[in-house]
Amino acid sequence: MIRRVLIANRGEIALRIIQACREMNIETIAVFSDADARAPHVLAADRAVAIGPAPAIQSYLSIPTLISAARAERADAVHPGYGFLSESAAFARACEQAGVVFVGPPSEVISRMGSKIEARQLMQSAGVPIVPGHVPHDQSDSGVRRALEEIGFPALVKASAGGGGKGMRVVEGIAEATGAVQAARREAVASFGDGTLYVERLLDRPRHVEVQVFADAFGHTTHLFERECSAQRRHQKVLEESPSPALTPALRQRMTQAAVAAARAAEYRNAGTIEFLVEGRGDGANFYFLEMNTRLQVEHAVTEAVVGVDLVRAQLLVASGEPLPWEEGSLAQRGHAIEARVYAEDPSREFLPQAGRLLLYREPRMPGVRVDAGVAEGHEVTVHYDPMLAKVIAVGETRDAAISRLAAALRAYPVLGIRTNIPYLLAVLDHSRFRSGDIDTSFLDREAGDLVHSVPEPPAFLREALRQLGDEADEPRTTTHEANTDPWLTLRDWRA
C-alpha cells in the first residue's frame, strides 16, 4: 500500500488529494514554486519541498526537479492531479524508471491516447463511433487543404496533440482553408511542439457529454455514468452536471458501453474519461468519440456527488495494486449535481485574468453545497497559473433544485480584491435555455453579448468595503507580537 505521496500540482486539486490521503493515513508531500511558498496546499501537507521559480516551466513542469524531489523525500508515489504534467507520458515514464508509482495509467497508454490521430484509429478498430474525418498523409498546407475539400464544409482542422481548443480552427469554405491550416499549425507547435493536423466534419450544434471510466490491474473496467459539459466558453468548460439532461436511458446505455469498450481497447488503468460529441436528440441521437483524458477531471466532484464514491481514494487504491473498490452493478445515479468553476477574471473586459490579493473571501456554507478551493483570504492570486479559484458543487433531488441551490451558493460567495466570474455564472444559470437544458457547445459563445451585458457592476457598498479594506491594509500597525505583524491577521471583521 502507498504510504507517502508527492503531489506534483498546486491549488484546489492538491488540497483535494491531501484530503483523501489524510483519510487513508497516507503521508503527503507538497511541492511549491517561489510564488506559492505560503499557499494553502503547502500549509496543509505533511511536508513541503521548494521546486523553483514562479514560472511553471521552471517548477511545476520540470520533470527532473519533481523526480529529484520524490527521490529525496522517499515518496512511494507521485499524484499528478490534472493540468501541468498529468497527461505527460514522459513524466509517467520518468516515475516508472525512478521506481516511483505514478497515480494514473501506464506511460504507454498516455502516449497512445495522447495522439488524437492514434486514438481515433484505435477507437475505430474497437467499434467506437468516431467523427467522420480524415488524417492526411501529406501534412503540407496543401495536403491538409485537399483533405478539407474531401470532407466538405463546414469542417474542423485540429491538432493531433491538441486540447482545450488549441490548434483547432473552424473552416467555413475553401477561401479560408489555407489561413486556418497555417494558424492551427502555428498554435499547435507553440502549445504542444507538434504540428501534425487532421480534419473532421463539423457537427451541427453538438453536445459535449463525457463518461467517467475506471479500470484496475485485474481486468475490471467499469463506468461511473456521464457528465454534461456543453456549457463551454471558447472550448473551456464553465458548468458541468450529472445526469445529462439530454440522455435517455437507452442512449445512456449505448454511450457507457462504448466508453467501457474504449477503455478496454486502450488497455487502460486507473481513472479516465471518454469524451463524446452528441448530435441529435432522444434515443436516435448519434454520438462520436472526441478524445480520452488520461487523468482525473476537474469536474470529478460531480460524479462523486451523484454516484457516492471517492474517485481520488479509488485512484490511490488501484495505484497500490488493489482491485476496484466497487462493481459496476452496485453503482447508480442519485439526484442531480452541478458544478461551477469560479475564476479570477473580469467578464466585462473579455474575461481578462485578474491578479491581486483576496482582501475578503468567504465560501458559502449550506446543506448540499461543496466547495473545492485552492485559495484563502489574504492569498495572493498571481498571473503565473490558471485563474481558477474554486469549484462550487451543488446537489439536489432534481436538476432544478440543484441549479437553484448552486445559484444561492454563488450569491453567498463574497470575494473582494479582484474581479471574479461569479456574476457571469449567475447570469448563465438564470438563462431560460440553460434552465430548460436546451444547450450545445456553442451556446455560451452565441449568447456571449447578452450574458456579459447582464452582469451587473459591484454594488456601491461592496466597492466602499473594498476601499476601506484596502486603506486598512495600508495602515501601519504597532504590535509587540511578531505573529501579528501581518495585516491579514489583524483586520477587523466585516460582513456583507
**By the 8 A CB rule, do 212 and 297 touch?**
yes
Q: Which of 10, 112, 120, 295 is catalytic?
A: 295
Kind of pairing, strands 27-33 and 47-52? parallel
Burial environment of residue 2 by CB neighbours within 10 A (0 to 12, 13 to 18, 19 or more): buried
b/e burial code for range 171-201 (CB count within 10 A of at least 16 → b): beeeeebeebbeebbebbeeebebbbbbbbb
Q: Helix crossing, 89-97 with 63-72: angle to 10°? A: 30
Q: How far is CA 355 from CA 33, 56, 474, in A?
A: 17, 16, 18
Q: What secondary structure does DSSP assign to 209-273, as a single string?
A: EEEEEEE-TTS-EEEEEEEEEEEEETTEEEEEEES-TT--HHHHHHHHHHHHHHHHHTT--EEEE
**By the 8 A CB rule, do 17 and 296 touch?**
no
d(CA 67, CA 45): 18
d(CA 264, CA 266): 5
The question of whether 295 is a catalytic residue gets the answer: yes
Q: How far is CA 199 from CA 205, 303, 476, in A?
A: 17, 32, 61
What sign has the CA pseudo-torsion 194, 196, 199, 200? Answer: negative
Catalytic residues: 295
